[in-house]
Amino acid sequence: MMKPDVLKVPFERGVSFFQRAFLDRWQAATLSIAGLVLIPLAVVLFSVFSETNEVWLHFVQTSLVTLLTNTFWLLLGVGVGTTFLGVSLAWLTAACDFPGRRWLDWALMLPLSLPPYVVAFVSIGLLDFTGPVQTQLRLWLGVERLWFPRIRSTGGVIAVMTLTLYPYVYMLARNAFLTQGRRAIEAAQSLGQGRFRGFLGVALPMARPWIVGGLALVLMETLADFGTVSIFNYDTFTTAIYKAWFGLFSLSAAAQLASLLVFIVFVVLLIEQRSRSRRRFSHAGRSSVADRISLRGGRGWLAFAYAISVLGIAFIIPVGQLSVWAFGVFRQDFDLRYLSFLGHSVFLGGAAALLTCAGALILVSANRLRNDLMTRTAVRVATLGYALPGSVLAVGIFIPLIWIDKQMIEWIQTLFGIEIGFILSGTLAAMLLAYLIRFLAVAHGAVDSAMNRITPSLDETARCLGVSGIPLLRKVYLPLLRGGLLTAALLVFVDVMKEMPITLMTRPFGWDTLSVRIFEMTSEGEWERAALPAVALVLTGFIPILLLSRYSSREP
Amino acid sequence: MVVYSARNEQLIKPLFDAYTKETGARVKFITDKEGPLLERLKAEGEHTPADLLITVDAGNLWRAAQEGLLKPTQSTVLQENIPAHLRDPENRWFGLSVRARTIVYNTQKVKPSDLSTYEDLADPKWKGRLCLRTSKKVYNQSLVAMMISEHGEPKTEQIIKSWVGNLATDVFSDDTQVMKAIAAGQCDVGIVNTYYYGRLLVKEPTLPLALFWPNQNGSGVHVNISGAGIIKHAKHEQAALKLLEWLSSQKAQNLFSDTDMEYPANPKIAPDKRVASWGSFKQNLINVSKAGELQDEAVKLMDRAGYK
């Protein structure tokens, strides 16, 4: 085991006034980013003061217990499922060698580009009573009814979400195992521990922040999900939020329920952070590809079979079905506008990825340089935008934006006597800001765990050489964080391309994207026509995934 | 002119294109779900760029009017073209197409003579033979709201409970799945909007499915609307009114309803040929605004009845 608390960096001693003022800039930056996220959250939290007893009473009397237990089982199932798939596959591709490993390594990231609700629809279409699988079976067996596992069930929704969300855990755990020195494992093996015990006892605990980081993203996404659970008609906390809003016309009650959600996530994140705040997870020696555990013969093929079946179920089969549908509607629906949908999606994804990574870099660096309670809390707050259901957050972002716009309109009217329209809202800047608020958590998870890998003694050395502040960030941190930053950029890019509610609410006129296209088709239940933009989304997701895999396989 | 629309792009863009071609007036529009659109209008207040709001149900128009987002419109054209039960009594919104929610059945297992009313689907003879879509969909909320206005809450709750008791399988997330299940023999009857039936039959004409018009000796088939209203703070009120009047005219009515196999709201206009082939029926003449008024009652009632 690695020894924690190797070095306590003597931060305050010998720091000049100037440097101290500089450090405070980190705090200021963190606080302003947290403030940015806090504004829409505050709009939502403000609902706590409105009177909604009637709606609450209704939920308590009818469905609250079911909602809570359903949400609990969903979180537990998806949490366990994604951790198991993500960690085992990451270990196999990052630390072992078996047939097909090279391409499976990146191919296993591909399910990321499939929106979960699309996979939900495809799997119900394939496996429900009326789907081709059961229909064929009935034909072959010549029966009218046969026993078949129910797809529209708790197990079904857990399976679909696990298969679409495991890449978050996979990617971060893969980073952990790739950058993990093998020396500790070798040491464990030389002490007589077997491979498996070396994995369980050494590699796994060392990768914990990465795994937990990925898992946190998965759980937040699961909590906030509305699309998938509605297709399964599986009632969760989030479906209750939307029922209060759309069905009972009470946005206040919806916002109150959402506030409760955010509060729970915040507390859980704080507890998790506390539980590992005393450990350090830095790099212990270099590793090389030659260190891979070679799985020979049957065991190698077993590993291959496992990885390929996950990929097959999570990606190849759904994409196959989508392609068939897309082919069927291609002539009717495809036109040159698709180029602009694609262009918009890629532009928004790319710009949001850059912005969000920059934000995450600031948060992570500030947290390292200024590890006080205020900064830590601010960082946590800054990542809460991911825990809210999309439409609720979209409204929370939109209201303050419009408020600023209205102020500007009034100033300009009193100053110049002219009437103008909205300046901020309906611009790309506002849209990107909204994405930043939504996806900071995603980028932060990847960058933060990479920062964990940088040994504190490096800071010490740098400081002895007189390097600190921005130069420390540029010369020392940035090169070491590159893998984490790339992972973050990819995750945000793909997430933004899939994102729907914020895109719908903040897009400028005519700025339709592939996900808007999916919305247009699915809002009236035309799922087969939604396959065309969905396939385009998947194809676009290929490019950054290939780029990332090429980069990270060159890593030491 | 700016339109906020919950009716999706492929169903409204052809109309706006035709309007621009005919009059030269340009229409900008943005699509989203009703809930976010209404919040957007509320937040934008008097500075909103929007002139017209389009939805696919009466409940949300009712709510927009309730929140003071829409403005009354005096127009003899609209009064003449749109029947009284398909528009707001205070003229803040107008139905533009009719979406009929009716019974669909498997022709190999059910005789039309077995069917009569929505209420009759609560009868024990349908035990294990009924398929329904989720109660979270506004179309079902409107249907149940109308039943409440007709029968009162206690009786409606009894009916819904018995529907739930008759279900052959868990409720589905859309109407197409309901019809596929009926066609495949998982169940025998269900309740769907007619245009879903039309769309499915275009793709798979051989499915053993047919529509039945219920409650013909009583109050009639439940109808909802896709409709529009002029925004209170519209900057181009006159232009929006002209567009709205045009949408209720013969040419637009056909475009509006035929692209999605819905029924024209203007009774003088004949529906699409395929739609006409399903037969004519008596509509429920209760004002569709009831669907909005009683929606939250309906949602709560279905929760109590265990209709998921």
Subunit contact A231:B173, Cβ cutoff 8 A: yes
B147 or A458, which is more confident? Answer: B147
Can you give the pLDDT at residue A403?
92
To the nearest whole Å, the CA of A402 is away from the closest chain B CA by 6
Neighbours of B169 (CB within 10 A): 16
Report if pTM > 0.95.
no
CA A549 to chain centroid, in Å, comes to 18
Say whether residue A391 is in contact with chain B using an 8 A CB cutoff.
yes
Please report where in the chains the tokens 């037969």 appear, as a residue: B279
ipTM here: 0.93
- Closest partner CB to A247 (pick from B136, B181, B304): B136
Q: Are A529 and A87 in contact (CB under 8 A)?
A: no
Distance CA A429, CA A220 (A): 26
Neighbours of A512 (CB within 10 A): 22
Half-sphere exposure of A139 (CA within 13 A, CB side): 8
Q: Are B54 and B244 in contact (CB under 8 A)?
A: no
- Closest partner CB to B32 (pick from A239, A251, A504): A504
Give the percent of chain A with pLDDT over 70: 90
**Strand bridging mode B94-106 / B209-212:** antiparallel
> A278 pLDDT band (50/70/90 cuts)?
low
Distance CA B274, CA B278 (A): 7
Averaged in consecutive runs of 10 residues, what is the pLDDT profile of chain B (308 residues)?
95 95 95 95 94 96 97 96 97 97 98 97 97 96 97 98 97 96 97 96 95 97 97 96 96 90 95 95 96 96 96
Half-sphere exposure of A217 (CA within 13 A, CB side): 34
Say whether residue A459 is in contact with chain B using an 8 A CB cutoff.
no
Distance CA A456, CA B199 (A): 64
Task: Give me Rg for the CA atoms of chain A.
Answer: 25
Look at residue A10 and tell me whether its pLDDT is greater than 50.
no
Neighbours of B255 (CB within 10 A): 18
Give the percent of chain A with pLDDT over 90: 60
The model's pLDDT over A393-416, given as tens digits with 9 standing for 90+, comes to: 999 999 999 999 999 999 998 999
Which of the residue ranges A97-106, A265-274, A525-534 would you say has the lowest mean pLDDT? A265-274
Say whether residue B296 is in contact with chain A using an 8 A CB cutoff.
yes
Q: Where are the beta strands (DSSP E) in A268-427?
A: 293-294
To the nearest whole Å, the CA of B10 is away from the closest chain A CA by 7
To the nearest whole Å, the CA of B76 is away from the closest chain A CA by 32
Q: Are B291 and B142 in contact (CB under 8 A)?
A: yes
Residues 510-549 of A with CB under 8 A from B: 510, 512, 516, 519-521, 523-526
Say whether residue B31 is in contact with chain A using an 8 A CB cutoff.
yes
- Is residue A180 helix, strand or coil? coil
H/E element holding A42?
helix A17-45
Can you give the pLDDT at residue A23?
54
Subunit contact A130:B184, Cβ cutoff 8 A: yes
B28: chain A residues, CB-CB within 8 Å: 509-510
Mean pLDDT, rounded, of chain A: 87
Subunit contact B33:A239, Cβ cutoff 8 A: no
Look at residue A48 and tell me whether its pLDDT is greater than 60.
yes
Q: How many contacts, defined by CB atoms under 8 Å, are there between A and B?
A: 126
The model's pLDDT over A159-202, given as tens digits with 9 standing for 90+, comes to: 999 999 999 999 999 988 888 766 666 666 677 666 777 777 78
Q: Are A440 and A328 in contact (CB under 8 A)?
A: no
Phi, psi of B85, deg, nearest 5: -75, -10
Distance CA A540, CA A355 (A): 20
Phi, psi of A533, deg, nearest 5: -60, -30
Q: Where are the beta strands (DSSP E) in chain B?
A: 2-5, 28-31, 52-55, 94-106, 130-131, 189-193, 209-212, 222-230, 263-264
B296: chain A residues, CB-CB within 8 Å: 247-250
Look at residue A17 and tell me whether its pLDDT is greater than 70.
no
Q: Can you name the residues that pair with B226 across neighbouring β-strands?
A: B97
Nearest residue in A to B11, CA atom: A520
Q: Are B1 and B25 in contact (CB under 8 A)?
A: yes
Subunit contact A144:B185, Cβ cutoff 8 A: yes
Within B74-220, residue ranges assigned H as helices are 76-81, 138-151, 153-166, 175-183, 194-203
H/E element holding A97?
strand A96-97
Say whether residue A279 is in contact with chain B using an 8 A CB cutoff.
no
- Closest partner CB to A520 (pick from B10, B35, B170): B10
CA distances from A540 to A171, A275, A537 (A): 18, 39, 5
Look at residue A556 and tell me whether its pLDDT is greater than 50.
no
Nearest residue in B to A233, CA atom: B173
Closest CA to B283 of B226, B224, B221: B221
Can you give the pLDDT at residue A497?
95
Q: What is the mean pLDDT of residues A503-525?
A: 92
Q: What is the mean pLDDT of residues A428-440?
A: 95
Closest CA to A144 of A135, A152, A154: A135
- Is residue B283 helix, strand or coil? strand
Mutating which of B2, B9, B224 best tests the A interface, going by the most A Cβ atoms within 10 A?
B9
Mutating which of A39, A47, A129 best tests the B interface, going by the most B Cβ atoms within 10 A?
A129
Subunit contact A130:B183, Cβ cutoff 8 A: yes
Neighbours of A19 (CB within 10 A): 12
Say whether residue B109 is in contact with chain A using an 8 A CB cutoff.
no
B138: chain A residues, CB-CB within 8 Å: 246-247
To the nearest whole Å, the CA of A164 is away from the closest chain B CA by 20
Within B210-306, residue ranges assigned H as helices are 237-247, 250-258, 273-276, 289-293, 295-304
CA A345 to chain centroid, in Å, comes to 18
Can you give the pLDDT at residue A49?
87
Q: Both tokens of residue A210?
A: 């990465």
User: Amino acid letter at B156?
Assistant: T
Distance CA B136, CA B150 (A): 21
B33: chain A residues, CB-CB within 8 Å: 246, 391, 501, 504, 523
Burial B81-114 (b: 16+ CB within 10 A, else e): bbbebbbbeebbbbbbbbbbbbbbbbeeebeeee
Helix axes A53-62, A64-95, angle to 10 degrees: 80
- Closest partner CB to A525 (pick from B47, B136, B174): B174
Can you give the pLDDT at residue B265?
96
A506: chain B residues, CB-CB within 8 Å: none
